[in-house]
Amino acid sequence: DTAVSQTPKYLVTQMGNDKSIKCEQNLGHDTMYWYKQDSKKFLKIMFSYNNKELIINETVPNRFSPKSPDKAHLNLHINSLELGDSAVYFCASSQVSGVTYEQYFGPGTRLTVT
């Protein structure tokens, strides 16, 4: 009955590789997000995706690209991985067209780049 799920939970890879993280929500929400949490626990928004409209945080390198096959999924693709990409990545969803304002977060994917 998981609301927001992510796979994989852990991802260890080498510099220069390309990897993807998958996210699915079964809440029927209209908006999905990706956040990055660094080793100091600072949480930073990367993307917001609503009804095929993508909003990008201007500080996100273009090596990161979200892909949404349908309303319930928002996957994160990362090209040419760098050491600094090591972090925990959280997917989240919310219903911004309604009256609710809380975001539901997935369990996170811990990415380690060696």
Partner 1 sequence: GQSLEQPSEVTAVEGAIVQINCTYQTSGFYGLSWYQQHDGGAPTFLSYNALDGLEETGRFSSFLSRSDSYGYLLLQELQMKDSASYFCALERGAGNMLTFGGGTRLMVKP
Q: How far is the CB of 54 from partner 1 (least distance, A)?
A: 8
- DSSP result, 1-22: --SEEEE-SEEEE-TT--EEEE
Question: Which of residues 80 and 100 has its CB atom nearest to partner 1 in the complex?
Answer: 100
Cis peptide before 69 (omega within 30 of 0): no
Does residue 57 touch partner 1 according to CB under 8 A? yes
Question: Which of residues 17 and 97 has its CB atom nearest to partner 1 in the complex?
Answer: 97
Q: According to CB under 8 A, which one of 21, 94, 111, 113 is a site residue for partner 1?
A: 94
Question: Which of residues 47 and 75 has its CB atom nearest to partner 1 in the complex?
Answer: 47
CB 21 within 8 A of CB 11: yes
